[in-house]
Amino acid sequence: MAGRQAVKAYLDLLSQPCRAVLIFLKHNKIPHTLELVALRKGQHKTPEFSKLNPMQKVPVLDDNGFVLTESDAILKYLATTYNVPDHWYPKLPEKRARVDEYTAWHHVNTRMHAATVFLQEVIFPNMGQPTNPAKFKKALTDLDGTLDMLENMFLKRKPFLCGDDISLADLLAVCELMQNSFDCLFQPMCSGRDVLKDRPKLLSWRSRVQSALSDSFDEAHSVVYQIRQKFTAKL
Amino acid sequence: MSLEIYLDLFSQPCRSVYIFAKKNDIQFDYKKISLFEGYQYSEEYGKINLLRKAPAIKDGDFYLAESPLVENHCSRIVAIMLYLTEKFHTPDHWYPADLQKRARVNEYLSWQHSTIRPHGSKMMWFKLLIPKAFGTEIPKEKMDNAVEDLNSSLNLFEEKFLQDRPFIVGDQISLADLVAIVEIMQPVGAGMDVFENRPKLKAWKDRVRAEIGAELFDEAHQAIFYAQEAVKTMDPEKIEHFKPKILRYFLS
């Protein structure tokens, strides 16, 4: 790795998968620079950003010219390139398969439903866009179903989603399921909803994950708080 | 130690595992399942798991457990292929050891979950299964949106993932191409020619089919090639059970 420059991470810290990438970079002390992309300002639709990523999405990783999208692909690449502790993405095929199993399922389950709830309840109202109560209600039901599966199919009796140790699966999942007070840029207008409220097993899993990530978690969120302070100062 | 794999070849991810295992001469016990019939039982028995006695894969003591939903069964299937590449030391090009090439495969596998996969799947439902098996017509606006979604995904596929390369990752076929091809073939089964006016996509498809072997490719896609015929002989009683759920899912 001698002479290798720091990776560049294009992130919007309001985006959950972006936070997962940032937490991973910080926790594992992977040299990186941050390029903040504000989705709410349409910065992902500029010609320069579109050249970097025609999909116009974040996160994007640029490792010395190697440009990669998709948060789980990015996390797996970082985990294998930078020699992080094995538990993040175990080398043993059976253990690795469990993490792959979760990340595959995550897209159209945890991420999709949690994101829809967040959009309908927080983002759209704050951006003056019309909300869809029926869609919101359905998203809550879908999310509920997803949480059942998270608890009964993945977590079961284990401390973490894929075994005895924290992995990429826990990181991706927890970023979607944090209390909205962290996600919310517009604090006063925040819903205050905690989707894990009545699920003690998932609540203790979440605490466990947050403890395992403590410093990097706070660091990642301090950047969010700074943005929020800058924003509210302008109001 | 015997390897059992539970597959329904009507399902795209199942086809990719089937093709992968056969192409690499991986010895396995092919357990044929019918996801449609399973739906019937899950409705009847409430929350009892669809595949209670049939995990997606069983390799000695390692197994990926049953799943109550088609979607979940299928997402596990993709994880299974990654597992098989490690376990059976398949040729490097399928899932390269080179981390950047591997990342490209992972990138595609991740992206396709919410794009080509659902958009391709939807066309099978909208153009064939819902009208022919359920006798319900799809409203024009929904159909137009679905076609547009698929077209956007195919455009992105060609522009970003394929570009000027013979295969997604480079000169050789990988899991990304395999997972892509089975999804792109799904709407074909519904009578939709996705390759019309897309010479680059067609050339890629021909290349992939040749790499896999035309015989194996066609064999795996039997259920798709005969889908339009099969739908005529579907037992109406069997499918009545899950009609309301499907209609609610797609048309609400």
Out of B62, B106, B159, whose CB is closest to A54?
A: B159
List the alpha helices (DSSP H) in A107-213. 112-118, 124-126, 133-149, 168-176, 180-183, 200-212
Instruction: For chain B, list residues with pLDDT below 50.
Output: 39-55, 65-68
Residue type, B119: H
Question: What is the reported pLDDT for B72?
Answer: 57
Rg (alpha carbons) of chain A, rounded to whole number: 18
Contact B124, B189 (CB under 8 A): yes
Q: Torsion angle of alpha carbons A135, A137, A140, A145, nearest 10°?
A: -90
Contacts of B103 in chain A (CB under 8 A): 66, 68, 73-74, 76-77
How far away is chain B from the Cα of A66, in angstroms, using its nearest Cα?
8
Residue segments in chain A with a per-residue pLDDT below the cut of 50: 1-2, 180-183, 185-189, 235
Q: Are A23 and A168 in contact (CB under 8 A)?
A: no
Residue environment code for A30-63, b if the CB has 16+ CB neighbours within 10 A, otherwise e? bebeeeebebeeebbeeeebeebbebebbbbbbb
Strand partners, B64: B57
- Least CA distance to B98: which residue of chain A? A81
pTM to 2 decimals?
Answer: 0.85
For A:5-34, CB contacts with B below 8 A are none
CB pair distance less than 8 Å for A103 and B83? no
The pLDDT value recorded for residue B40 is: 39
Which are the contacts of A18, defined by CB distance < 8 A and separation ≥ 6?
A11, A12, A58, A59, A71
| Structural element, H or E, at residue A8 | strand A7-11
What ipTM is given for this predicted complex? 0.81
**C-alpha span between B1 and B236 (Å, rounded):** 40
Q: What is the pLDDT of residues B84-119, one digit of tens each?
A: 999 899 999 999 999 999 999 999 999 998 899 989
Structure tokens at B9: 């070849």
The pLDDT value given to residue A84: 95
Identify the bridge partners of residue B6 per DSSP, sorted by sequence position. Answer: B31
Residues listed for chain B: 252
Q: Is the CB of residue A67 less than 8 Å away from at least one CB of chain B?
A: no
Instruction: Compare CB distances from A80 to B67, B86, B99 and report the shortest one's residue.
Output: B99
**Which residue in the set A93, A98, A108 is minimally distant from B86, CB to CB?**
A93
pLDDT, position B41:
47
Q: Of the candidates B153, B189, B79, B14, which has an alpha carbon nearest to the alpha carbon of residue A95?
A: B79
